[in-house]
């Protein structure tokens, strides 16, 4: 939330103070009981229109001394993150909330290959369930109705996009190319997926696929280096683009490829963007040129204003997803 008071009016200042207190209280409650409170009846109801600010952000964290990732949750208004998984020999990465805000899908791997695949858990880190048939998979993405999960899976030397019911069956292959497809994200109506397609030269463009026909349409141009799209409920797609500066910046585009604009422009790498539920803000990772360079979560409005640093630990904080 913007903490700068733009008016000298005493009543306005009091109103802003009450709003901040409501957000903070709701955020604390949302993190304390992330499983039992759904999207329509969560702690944000106590804060009225400010409910979105109370919905926790889940992310993966590791540091250079112990490069094994665990999952954490943090309120958008800040504070100490809550650790959700505790797996010293296993990495938990790529978390994504289910549409009802009750479960998280994520990738779990480690222990010499004994653990490898997509799992789900409740919002407090319990009730873990593996998704059969997802060994080697990455980038899980829930469908808007919460019944299916799309993901990237290796087929020979390439990675293709699959979709399966949340229990892993039946798994349907959607793409058949010589390129690598990563990071699927669903359209709000559940009829399309967008994903990044990487070629042998290292370029990557965004592509849209219609699930009923498997017809594919490029969203961004050939020769681009576009990664990690996230499709908002408001029908916009945010993604990370490595441009001529050599840095990755956030951009937004319409699903038909029109209206592209840049959100961030600092001399930094901005990656893994995720929309807030109301489509007004983004959470993303900034930093990380190497393991000695920490990566932090930041928030920014969709128009590029209101940049706020969310995490500040000497760690790598990645792949954040905002609870619906």
Q: Lowest-pLDDT range, 2-16, 223-237, 304-318? A: 2-16
Match 């490829």 to its residue by tokens. Answer: 257
Tokens of 251: 């951009």
pLDDT of 182 reads: 97
Using an 8 Å Cβ cutoff, are 174 and 214 in contact? yes
pLDDT of 291 reads: 65
**Most confident option among 22-31, 63-72, 73-82:** 73-82
**CA–CA separation, 237 vs 40, rounded Å?**
24
pLDDT of 288 reads: 73
**CA–CA separation, 208 vs 219, rounded Å?**
6
The vertex-287 CA angle with 284 and 292, nearest 5°, equals 140
Closest C-alpha among 252, 290, 254 to residue 269: 290
Closest C-alpha among 242, 174, 233 to residue 208: 174
Q: Evaluate if residue 177 carries a pLDDT over 60.
A: yes
> What would the pLDDT profile of 89-119 be if each residue is shown by its tens digit?
999 999 999 999 999 999 999 988 888 999 9
- Quick one: 228 exposed, middle or buried, by C-beta within 10 A (0-12, 13-18, 19+)? buried
Q: Evaluate if residue 75 carries a pLDDT over 60.
A: yes
Q: Evaluate if residue 41 carries a pLDDT over 80.
A: no
Q: Lowest-pLDDT range, 24-33, 52-61, 146-155? A: 24-33
Q: Lowest-pLDDT range, 62-76, 207-221, 272-286? A: 62-76
pLDDT of 183 reads: 98
Question: What residues contact residue 82 under an 8 Å CB cut-off, 6+ apart?
Answer: 31, 56, 72, 73, 74
Closest C-alpha among 108, 97, 56 to residue 233: 97
**CA–CA separation, 313 vs 61, rounded Å?**
10
pLDDT of 42 reads: 40
- Mark out the alpha helices in the chain (DSSP H runs): 10-32
HEC secondary structure over 10-55: HHHHHHHHHHHHHHHHHHHHHHHCCCCCCCCCCHHHHHHHHHHHHC
Q: Evaluate if residue 50 carries a pLDDT over 60.
A: no
pLDDT of 51 reads: 61
pLDDT of 58 reads: 98
Instruction: Categorize the per-residue pLDDT at 67 as very low, low, confident or very high, splitting at 50, 70 and 90.
Output: confident
Three-state SS for 209? strand
Strand-pair partners of 60: 71, 318
- This prediction's pTM: 0.84
- Quick one: 39 exposed, middle or buried, by C-beta within 10 A (0-12, 13-18, 19+)? middle
Q: Evaluate if residue 5 carries a pLDDT over 80.
A: no
Tokens of 322: 């905002």
């Amino acid at each position: 939330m913007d903490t700068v008071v733009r008016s000298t009016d005493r009543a306005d200042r009091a109103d802003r103070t009450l709003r901040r207190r409501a957000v903070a209280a709701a955020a604390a409650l949302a993190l304390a009981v992330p499983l039992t409170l759904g999207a329509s009846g969560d702690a944000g109801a106590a804060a009225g229109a400010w409910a979105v600010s109370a919905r926790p952000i889940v992310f993966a964290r590791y540091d250079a001394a112990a490069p094994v990732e665990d999952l954490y949750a943090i309120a958008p208004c800040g504070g100490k993150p809550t650790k959700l998984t505790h797996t010293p020999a296993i990495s938990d990465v790529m978390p994504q909330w289910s549409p009802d805000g009750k479960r998280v899908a994520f990738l779990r791997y480690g222990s010499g290959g004994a653990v490898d695949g997509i799992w789900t858990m409740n919002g407090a880190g319990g009730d873990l369930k593996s998704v059969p048939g997802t060994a080697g998979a990455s980038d899980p993405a829930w469908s808007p109705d919460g019944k299916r999960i799309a993901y990237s899976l290796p087929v020979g030397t390439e990675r293709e996009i699959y979709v399966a019911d949340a229990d892993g069956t039946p798994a349907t292959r959607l793409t058949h190319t010589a390129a690598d497809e990563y990071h699927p994200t669903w359209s709000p109506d559940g009829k399309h997926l967008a994903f990044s397609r990487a070629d042998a030269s290292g370029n990557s463009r965004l592509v849209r696929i219609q699930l009923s026909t498997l017809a594919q349409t490029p969203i961004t141009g050939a020769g681009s280096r576009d990664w990690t799209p996230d499709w908002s409920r408001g029908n916009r797609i945010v993604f990370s683009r490595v441009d001529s500066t050599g840095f990755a910046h956030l951009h937004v585009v319409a699903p038909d490829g029109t209206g592209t604009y840049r959100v961030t422009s600092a001399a930094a790498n901005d990656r893994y963007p995720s929309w807030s539920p109301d489509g007004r803000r983004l959470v993303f990772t900034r930093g990380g040129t190497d393991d000695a360079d920490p990566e932090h979560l930041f928030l920014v409005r969709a128009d590029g204003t209101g940049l706020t640093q969310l995490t500040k630990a000497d760690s790598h904080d990645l792949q954040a997803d905002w609870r619906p």
